[in-house]
Amino acid sequence: MYSDILEEVGLTPNESKIYESLLHQSEASVSQISVKSGVHRRNVYDALSRLTDKGLVFPIFQKGENTYKAVSPDKLVEILDEKRQRIDRILPDLRHLHDSDPKKDAAFIYKGLEGFKNYMRDLVRVSEDTYFLGAKALWFTPGIEKYYLTNFVQTAEKKGLKYFTLYDPRVKKECPQAIVEIRGEYKFLPKQYPTPGVVDIFGDYVVTFTSIDIGNFGEDGTIFVMVNPELAQTYRTWFQLIWDLV
């Protein structure tokens, strides 16, 4: 039932099945674990050894066949915290490597919800005035933590950044909370100009979105990212023209 989630935190498929099966039992032998988890007996031994090393399972030594018992699931949180601490220690060096040779020209694609999160991280990382054209309140996409919007707004306020939003006309009716929570200066495009796309400009970035709904980027959306200072300035000029005319 929870194997997919357990795999997301770092367990292999066999480890996930075995650990979950042991949570249902006070203790179990290899044979019992194999039957309960559906993992072949010869693979159970290796998985149990790895789970023991990770501190999620411990053996109970006894005459005859040893049995195994699962440790409290709270251990999973400890494992994640330990991984986070290790990443935090090297994060400054990783950031330096990433930013030491910034590309003046680049083009790439982000896909799905994780890609959308990458785009939102870019907004905060670049931290320059931002222009949203045809905005559709995608911050409120199901599956996107509110942290990303809060982080953007707080960063903009802290650094004195400006952001201007030309909303898709449907936002006013279908997602009115966006106006209050996103803040910044905003206008609405005329009602005869709804579009399926969005263009965002910040720093040297021009970011375009396709196949999106109001307040919902979707799980399979595509984001096209172009990095070029002249192109970004061109889009800012076009944005300003539309802003002045609306």
CATH number of the domain bearing residue 220: 3.30.870.10
* Residues 65 and 118 grouped into a single domain: no
DSSP letter (8 states) at residue 72: P
**203 has a pLDDT exceeding 90:** yes
pLDDT band at 211 (very low <50, low <70, confident <90, very high): low
CA distance 45 to 33: 10
The DSSP element (H or E) to which 172 belongs, if any, is helix 171-174
Average pLDDT estimate for 142-149: 90
Number of domains into which the chain is organized: 2
Q: Is residue 93 part of a domain?
A: no
Q: Are residues 142 and 230 in the same domain?
A: yes
pLDDT digits (tens, 9 = 90+) for 38-78: 999 999 999 999 999 999 999 998 777 889 999 998 998 88
Q: What is the mean pLDDT of residues 156-165?
A: 94
pLDDT tens across 80-130, in order? Answer: 888 888 888 888 888 777 676 666 688 999 999 999 999 999 999 999 999
pLDDT for position 64: 76
d(CA 200, CA 130): 7
Q: Are 117 and 237 contained in the same domain? A: yes
Please check the confidence at residue 158 and state whether its pLDDT lies above 80.
yes
Q: What is the pLDDT of residue 188?
A: 96
Instruction: Looking at the structure, tell me whether residues 12 and 122 fall in a common domain.
Output: no
The CATH number linked to 29 is 1.10.10.10
Helix (H, G, I), strand (E, B) or coil at 19: helix
226 and 119 share one domain:
yes
Does residue 87 sit within a domain? Answer: no
Give the mean model confidence (pLDDT) for residues 186-205.
95
Domain C-terminal end among 76, 97, 128: 76
pLDDT in the model for residue 221: 87
**8 Å CB contact between 114 and 145:** no
Do residues 122 and 64 share a domain? no
3-state secondary structure of 46: helix
Domain residue limits at 18: 3-76
Name the nearest CA neighbour of 201 among 102, 100, 119: 119
Tokens 């799905």 found at: 112
In this structure, what are the phi and psi dihedrals at residue 245, rounded to the nearest 5 degrees? -85, -20
Residue 81 inside a domain? The answer is: no
Q: What is the pLDDT of residue 230?
A: 95
Examine the domain organization and report whether 123 and 37 are in the same domain.
no
Residues 19, 11 contacting (CB under 8 angstroms): yes
